[in-house]
């Protein structure tokens, strides 16, 4: 059986990201920090990349494509992933994300704002971050620091989450939806240039954003193929 035809591929990929994030975090929370060590900065970026994968997994669960044959498992993987990403409320994310797809680039779109990058990002953060998230993160941090060094928690648990939020917003919301869009483009979303290496490491192929809006039933790992088909169609 080809891997692409494997029925449970979405589940395997989702769990691989979650396990990789968790295993990497456990290792890094024990890692001896020396700021002259160049690996420290590579590890921060690596953990940011895995954090982004955690959120993308929650996002794909919202679209029902992590475990399409098992809606209950799909929900719980999404719920768990959203919780790992700074205690995000999965139900709230789901409602707002479906509104984004339904009312893209309009006043009813919770992800859209007619303003510069900073104002848009602040509006985006206010739209999604809740006081409960902040409290839960604070409580978790104070519990974890009883067992792990504060520097490790900040470097490998907190900073990557913040950087990942910026990464997700910049590549998955701001670049695709900013500015004017062709009137005939009902999706009001543009895609970055065809480069799978850049697209994967920038935001798990979500820079191919027009394809995501055109085919929301595709998981992140099928967006590259969809982008190739669109490129060939245009040519």
122 pLDDT more than 70? yes
**Of the candidates 104, 84, 82, which has an alpha carbon nearest to the alpha carbon of residue 92?**
82
Is there a contact between 101 and 90 (Cβ–Cβ < 8 Å)?
A: no
In a domain, 162, yes or no: yes
DSSP string, 204-218: TTTTBHHHHHH-TTS
- Which band of pLDDT confidence, cut at 50, 70 and 90, is reported for residue 12? very high
> What residues pair up with 191 in beta bridges, in sequence order?
208
DSSP state letters, 33-74: P-TT-THHHHHHHHHHHHHHHHHHHHHHHHTT-SSTT-HHHH
183 occurs within a structural domain: no
Highest mean pLDDT among 121-130, 155-164, 177-186: 155-164
Whole-angstrom CA distances from 160 to 49, 135, 144, 220 are 8, 19, 16, 21
Q: Is the pTM of this model over 0.85?
A: yes
Task: Kindly state whether residue 65 falls inside one of the protein's structural domains.
Answer: yes
Check pLDDT > 90 for residue 142.
Answer: yes
For residue 190, is it within any domain? no
Query: pLDDT at position 2, please?
Result: 47
Give the model's confidence band at 1: pLDDT under 50 very low, under 70 low, under 90 confident, else very high: very low
Classify 63 in phi/psi space as left (phi over 0), alpha (psi -120 to 50) or beta: alpha
Decide which of 4 and 79 is more confident: 79
The arithmetic mean of pLDDT across residues 97-124, rounded, is 92
Task: Kindly state whether residue 103 falls inside one of the protein's structural domains.
Answer: yes
Residue 211 lies in a domain: no
- pLDDT of 232 over the 90 cut: no
Q: Extract the tokens encoding 4.
A: 């692409």
In a domain, residue 37? The reply is yes
Average pLDDT value for residue range 112-138: 90
The domain tally of the chain equals: 1
Asked whether the CA dihedral 158, 111, 96, 77 is positive or negative, the reply is: negative
Range of the domain at 18: 3-178
Would the pLDDT of 231 be above 90? no
In a domain, 188, yes or no: no
């Amino acid at each position: 059986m080809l891997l692409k035809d494997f029925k449970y591929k979405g589940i395997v990929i989702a769990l691989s990201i979650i396990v990789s994030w968790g295993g990497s975090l456990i290792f890094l929370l024990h890692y001896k920090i020396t700021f002259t060590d160049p690996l420290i900065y590579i590890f921060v970026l690596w953990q940011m990349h895995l954090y982004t994968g955690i959120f993308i997994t929650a996002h794909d669960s919202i679209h029902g494509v992590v475990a399409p044959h098992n809606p209950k498992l799909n929900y719980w993987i999404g719920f768990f992933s959203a919780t790992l990403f700074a205690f995000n409320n999965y139900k709230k994310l789901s409602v707002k994300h479906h509104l984004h797809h339904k009312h893209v680039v309009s006043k009813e779109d919770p992800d859209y704002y007619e303003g510069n990058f900073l104002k848009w990002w602040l509006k985006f953060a206010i739209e999604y971050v809740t006081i409960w998230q902040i409290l839960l993160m604070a409580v978790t941090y104070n519990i974890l620091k009883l067992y792990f060094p504060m520097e490790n928690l900040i470097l490998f648990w907190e900073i990557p989450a913040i950087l990942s939020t910026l990464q997700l917003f910049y590549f998955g919301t701001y670049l695709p939806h900013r500015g004017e869009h062709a009137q005939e483009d009902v999706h009001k979303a543009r895609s970055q240039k065809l480069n799978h290496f850049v697209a994967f490491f920038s935001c798990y192929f979500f820079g191919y954003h027009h394809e995501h809006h055109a085919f929301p039933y595709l998981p992140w790992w099928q967006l590259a193929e969809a982008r190739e088909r669109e490129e060939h169609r245009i040519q």
